[in-house]
Structure 1
Amino acid sequence: MLVLLLLFCVALCGCEDGDLGYSLNIGNAIDVFANYGDLSQVTQVVSADYEGEDARDASVPFSEKNLRVFLNVKSSFKYGDREGITGMEVLLCETFEDLLNVYFQNFKIEGTDKPWKAFMGDWIPDEIMRTFGIEYDANPENCCYVLVKLTKKHKTVEVKENLRGAVVKDYVAMAVNELNVSDASEVRRFMKSYGTHYIESYITGNSIYQVFKYKRGGYNMLRAYIRVRNLRPWIPDNLRFYFSSYYLKQVGDIRIASGNKTIETWAQKNLRDSQYLYSRPSLLRLHYNPILVSKLNTLLDNGALLGLGLRTLRPLFRDRRKAEKFAEIVENDLQLWEVNA
């Protein structure tokens, strides 16, 4: 107990000004378990209205506590395309869980196969579906889903070199040397002080997205059409036909990843598709109208986190055996939390 108390005091006293942060700092360490299941509360990844929270037009992509544990991290970065918004993605999802996996495909957390659970695993299904603009369905397995999405990347940052051999901060190195990795409870206390993973990469920007819930037959026809269109791009573009009410069970609301309500209101008003006697919101308007794309490009802010890469803190350890044992405990715990989320 005396050793643990000493380590805790060293962590508090040794942490220099500027080591502790709450924004995106490449190479810094975070404790994934601190907010596991609700990381979306400290990262802006989906458009969500939290209880008691006013609608915000400005958002922060990342506000999770993180600690500088390495001295000499080098990073590389590149800005998004000059054109801004990328082409429209039409992503086919057999199940609602496929939809979640696809939405979070640019998020990688070493040790887990389903990163979306780290962000939304504690949410009830009704909350998750409302976040994606669709109504709660008690039997989602009877439906298929299509995620339509346009993205505007602002900046991509990643660790420039492998961190093995990186210089570790003195007070962190002292705690590492004292750590008994054979004691799982001691390792877990270490995680709370110094983290489980380091930020290897991230992407900021924004995206506009919409979910369409399909009848099985309509979904199969859309999938067949896209397959043929990819093989024969010269055939007429008839994508809108496969988004008609005949094939659909529900049209979701248009959402903005940054949660910007001003842009969402603009989208609901300007991106409407008229069919027969009624109209509905549809991102397909952007597929056929470059003027609207240009306008949206000026509106989209950089308030969302579009991708995040987290790697286990193996580089903290000079002893390879200790590094692997530490990672084993972290990743085993992650698997358990993933199953139970």
Structure 2
Amino acid sequence: MHLSEIVTFLLGLAPSLASEPQDAPTRGEPSLPRDYFNAGESLNIFSRYGYLREDFHVLPTNSSEPWVVRMATRSPLRDEPTRNDSLNHGGDIEFQFCYGPNQLLLAYFRHFSIDGIPRIWNSFLIGWDRDAFAKWMGIKKHFLSNAYSYVLVRIIRRKRTGSLPLAEDEGPSLTESAAEDAARITVGDEASVLRFFDKHGTHYVGNYTTGGLMYQVYAYSRRKYPKIVSELQEKTVNKWAKYFDFVFSPWFADHSGDIMVASGNSTIKQWMHRNLNASFFIYAHQSLLNVYRNKSLMQELSTLLGDDVIVELDLKTLLPAIKDAEKRSWVEEILMNRLALWDTGI
């Protein structure tokens, strides 16, 4: 293992029970209440590139009302069998060991992917700086530097999931209206491609998961970090809990970040301040690990974490739905060139 890699440990907080399939809504119908979206719906990534955090609820906000998606979506694909399930998922706790700030950023977005965008955070965080990043991570700006490594501790409860399963050798198909617009694309005419993007989008939702998310970041000097990773890899699971008390304490960590509630839910924040206090010798702090140690807290939190944050998202390009090979190649050239330019420009 190279130290610059992200090392992940995953522990289940409670058994994941069988999902309960629901009838998939027709994609031509309006969006579900509370601004949900569904697999197969599309969006023009360029219309909000860099500001997706304002349209997709993935980071803490100050909103008093629950929301998941605010961006208007389109329905350019023919009705395919979609899977939309409610999940009876007790929750997982993730430990992601990050060598530096870049790995911390990558770790936060590890469950997200957008075709053609390698640095996916750029599509969400235009204009972000150290102050903003430190605020979202719940740590002091001083500790956001290459002098420190990190452990990102997250509790994720998955409540709703959807996907558009397609055979490997088959792509999605456009509706009759969208196919007619695709036929109007002229090879060599960039404007015709942009008109198609404006009307039908650039990407569609391949799969998504919504639920609840809490997280906490611990910062360590580069001298301590290799020892932490090495020790955890050598220990058995039943010895981790005792070691966690040491590693995730203010006595050993250079900085213990605030516990963050991605939804901004005030009820969860009040519960957190009552129940997640911990101590190590004379050092008092708040710790998400209290949930792992205490089954009753685990059960309480399981009922509190709602369904108002996107915890997994995969956006795929509409390219496979354009069946004319020459036109598809031209659209791909325009799309990928623009994505590269926007990614570099951010």
- Within 5 Å, give how 1:155-304 maps onto structure 2: 155-162=160-167, 164=170, 166-229=172-235, 232-233=236-237, 235=239, 237-304=242-309
Unaligned 5+ residue runs, structure 1?
A: 1-15, 50-54
Indicate the larger mover: 176-185 or 155-164.
Answer: 155-164
- Between the aligned partners of 1:17 and 1:98, the Cα distance in structure 2 is 39
* Deviation for aligned residue 1:39: 0.4
Q: Deviations over 1:216-268 (max 9, x none)?
A: 22222211111112xx4454642211123343222111112222122123213
Unaligned 5+ residue runs, structure 2?
A: 1-26
> Greater helix percent: which structure?
1
Indicate the larger mover: 203-212 or 240-249.
Answer: 240-249
Query: Identity, % of aligned pairs?
Result: 28
In the other structure, the counterpart of 2:133 is 128
- Between the aligned partners of 1:23 and 1:185, the Cα distance in structure 2 is 31
Q: 2:77 aligns with which of 56, 59, 70?
A: 70
- Between the aligned partners of 1:215 and 1:197, the Cα distance in structure 2 is 41
**Residues 185 and 270 of structure 1, relative CA distance in 2, 3 Å threshold:** same
The residue type equivalent to 1:154 in the other structure is K
In the other structure, the counterpart of 1:319 is 324
In the other structure, the counterpart of 2:5 is none
Q: 1:149 aligns with which of 148, 154, 157?
A: 154
Please give the secondary structure, in 2, of the residue aligned with 1:248: coil
Please give the secondary structure, in 2, of the residue aligned with 1:140: coil
Indicate the larger mover: 123-132 or 235-244.
Answer: 235-244
In the other structure, the counterpart of 1:26 is 39
The residue type equivalent to 2:140 in the other structure is E
* Deviation for aligned residue 1:294: 1.1
Is 1:38 the equivalent of 2:51? yes
- Between the aligned partners of 2:292 and 2:160, the Cα distance in structure 1 is 24
Please give the secondary structure, in 1, of the residue aligned with 2:208: strand
In the other structure, the counterpart of 1:7 is none
Q: TM-score, normalised by structure 2?
A: 0.84
Aligned-residue CA RMSD (Å): 2.3
Contact 2:173 2:322 in 1 (8 A): no
Q: TM-score, normalised by structure 1?
A: 0.85
- Between the aligned partners of 1:184 and 1:20, the Cα distance in structure 2 is 31
In the other structure, the counterpart of 2:109 is 104
**Residues 185 and 20 of structure 1, relative CA distance in 2, 3 Å threshold:** farther
Q: How many residue pairs are counted as aligned between the two chains? A: 316
Please give the secondary structure, in 2, of the residue aligned with 1:74: coil
**Residues 125 and 185 of structure 1, relative CA distance in 2, 3 Å threshold:** farther
- Within 5 Å, give how 1:2-17 maps onto structure 2: none
